[in-house]
């Protein structure tokens, strides 16, 4: 099958490209490189020993997208492209709504025109807002208490996909709600590339471990959790990438029982910030200087997934031990210096 990956040069898209190719698929990547580089494409080619058709363009560019669908026999699309920085989205809401919403609309219109009817969408656990109860299942309420424009775009795109699936009976949608993706490819050739000072925990932690940052600020130890620090469901990036292969397979083999299916992608296990630091230190033998500071505004106390549906329906489970994921993140940081 030939799969179009929008945003395929990014962190999650690049790892997914490798897993798809290694499962026998062909991929076409469209990315405007607004948060990635062409070097990533070369690295994917290195790892997979293939040549990847790459189109450097903005998904909002109708003519460019039109050309891709006209020239390539696309069977399904995975839509990764979008802006994802929570803090930046508060400062630049219009840019976030424009990029994330318009790219999705233009993509859906162009797919419909070319009778490409299968789409996997990168959503986020952020659509659940502040959980009423844990673990989060796909039926947990969404759209309430989302604290930033980025999260709103994910919620809105889910709505758009639902409406589009009602209107077009041919359309088949798989919404993947990622929890906290972390780690890097075991080759250490690709991984997460933060833009400036990292906002997310793992890149900040590995940059501190290597000495780029003086110390990691732990945002609060006064939460109602066993050690007081917040809890998240950290999911290995290669495990996450493998789930996309299964989601595509289900669509292509026409196994979906609903026009739109939703899957939580997490481990089902909550890990606190302090536990994560300890696990990193044990796994790598490297000390991470840290200091407890005040809570970060907008942070949620604890969140983890019930991944049972993805386990059962996609036949997928997160299997990489956290210590191995953290060793891969560290190897990737060491490669980058």
Active site residues: 150
Q: Is 328 in the site for ligand WQD (CB under 6 A)?
A: no
Tokens of 163: 């409406």
Q: Note whether 77 and 118 are within 8 A (CB).
A: yes
Distances in Å between the alpha carbon of 207 and those of 40, 177, 203, 252, 281?
Answer: 20, 27, 6, 41, 14
Residue 8 vs 10, nearer CB to ligand WQD: 10
* 1-9, 16-24, 215-223, 281-289 -> range binding ligand WQD (CB under 6 A): 215-223
Q: What is the 8-class DSSP label of residue 178? A: E
Containing 271, the helix (H) or strand (E) segment is strand 271-272
Rounded Cα distance, 31 and 323, in Å? 32
Q: Is 142 in the site for ligand WQD (CB under 6 A)?
A: no
* Binding partner at 172 among ligand WQD, ligand NAD, none, C-beta below 5 to 8 Å by kind: none
Minimum gap (Å) between residue 278 Cβ and ligand NAD: 22
Minimum gap (Å) between residue 256 Cβ and ligand NAD: 21
Residue number closest to ligand NAD, CB atom: 10
Rounded Cα distance, 262 and 239, in Å? 17
Minimum gap (Å) between residue 37 Cβ and ligand WQD: 21
Q: Note whether 43 and 18 are within 8 A (CB).
A: no
Q: Is 176 in the site for ligand WQD (CB under 6 A)?
A: no
Q: Note whether 261 and 294 are within 8 A (CB).
A: no
Rounded Cα distance, 199 and 207, in Å? 12
**CB atoms closer than 10 angstroms to residue 152:** 20
Residue 22 vs 130, nearer CB to ligand WQD: 130
Q: Which residues pair with 56 in a beta bridge?
A: 31
Q: Which residues pair with 302 in a beta bridge?
A: 231
Minimum gap (Å) between residue 299 Cβ and ligand WQD: 5
Of the residues 39, 95, 132, 299, which one makes contact with ligand WQD according to CB under 6 A: 299
* Binding partner at 217 among ligand WQD, ligand NAD, none, C-beta below 5 to 8 Å by kind: ligand WQD
* 13-21, 109-117, 168-176, 213-221 -> range binding ligand WQD (CB under 6 A): 213-221
Minimum gap (Å) between residue 191 Cβ and ligand NAD: 10
- CB-side neighbour CA atoms (13 Å) of 51: 1
Residue 107 vs 235, nearer CB to ligand WQD: 235
* Nearest residue to 45 via CA among 10, 18, 12: 18
* Binding partner at 65 among ligand NAD, ligand WQD, none, C-beta below 5 to 8 Å by kind: none
Using CB under 6 A as the criterion, which residues of the chain lie in contact with ligand NAD when the complex forms? 6-7, 9-13, 31-36, 58-60, 80-82, 84, 99, 103, 122, 124, 178, 181
Residue 178 vs 332, nearer CB to ligand NAD: 178
List, as one string, the DSSP characters of 106-173: HHHHHHHHTT--EEEEEEEGGGG-S-SSSSBPTTS--SSS--SHHHHHHHHHHHHHHHHHHH-TT-EE
Q: Is 77 in the site for ligand WQD (CB under 6 A)?
A: no
Minimum gap (Å) between residue 201 Cβ and ligand WQD: 4
Cis geometry, peptide bond prior to residue 236 (ω within 30 degrees of 0): no
Residue 117 vs 153, nearer CB to ligand WQD: 153
Q: Is 84 in the site for ligand WQD (CB under 6 A)?
A: yes
Minimum gap (Å) between residue 75 Cβ and ligand WQD: 27
Tokens of 78: 């995975």
Rounded Cα distance, 108 and 119, in Å? 9
Residue 60 vs 250, nearer CB to ligand NAD: 60
Binding site for ligand WQD (CB under 6 A): 84, 86, 124, 126, 180, 199-201, 204, 216-219, 230, 232, 273, 296, 299
């Amino acid at each position: 099958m030939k799969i179009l990956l929008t945003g395929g040069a990014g962190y999650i898209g690049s790892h997914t490209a490798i897993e798809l190719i290694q499962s026998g698929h062909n991929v076409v990547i469209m990315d405007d490189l607004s948060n990635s580089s062409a070097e990533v494409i070369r690295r994917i080619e290195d790892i997979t020993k293939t040549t990847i058709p790459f189109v450097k363009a903005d998904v909002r560019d109708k003519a460019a997208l039109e050309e891709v669908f006209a020239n390539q026999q696309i069977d399904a699309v995975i839509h990764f492209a979008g802006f994802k920085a929570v803090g930046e989205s508060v400062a630049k809401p219009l840019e976030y709504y424009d990029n994330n919403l318009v790219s999705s609309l233009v993509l859906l219109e162009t797919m419909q025109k070319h009778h490409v009817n299968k789409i996997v969408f990168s959503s986020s656990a952020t659509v659940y807002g502040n959980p009423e109860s844990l673990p989060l299942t796909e039926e947990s309420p969404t759209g309430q208490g989302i604290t930033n424009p980025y999260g709103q775009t994910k919620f809105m795109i889910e709505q758009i996909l639902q409406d589009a699936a009602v209107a077009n009976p041919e359309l088949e949608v798989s919404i993947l709600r990622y929890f906290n993706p972390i780690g890097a490819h075991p080759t250490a050739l690709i991984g997460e590339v933060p833009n400036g000072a990292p906002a997310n925990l793992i890149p900040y932690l590995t940059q501190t471990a290597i000495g780029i940052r003086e110390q990691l600020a732990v945002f609060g130890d006064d939460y109602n959790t066993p050690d007081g620090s917040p809890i998240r469901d950290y999911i290995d990036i290669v495990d996450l990438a493998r789930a996309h292969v299964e989601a595509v397979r289900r669509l292509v083999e026409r196994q979906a029982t609903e026009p739109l299916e939703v899957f939580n992608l997490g481990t089902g296990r909550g890990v606190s910030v302090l536990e994560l630091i300890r696990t990193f230190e044990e796994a790598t033998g490297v000390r991470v200087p840290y200091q407890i500071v005040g809570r970060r505004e907008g942070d949620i106390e604890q969140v983890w997934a019930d991944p049972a549906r993805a386990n059962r329906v996609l036949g997928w489970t997160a299997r990489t031990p956290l210590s191995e994921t953290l060793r891969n993140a560290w190897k990737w940081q060491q490669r980058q210096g």
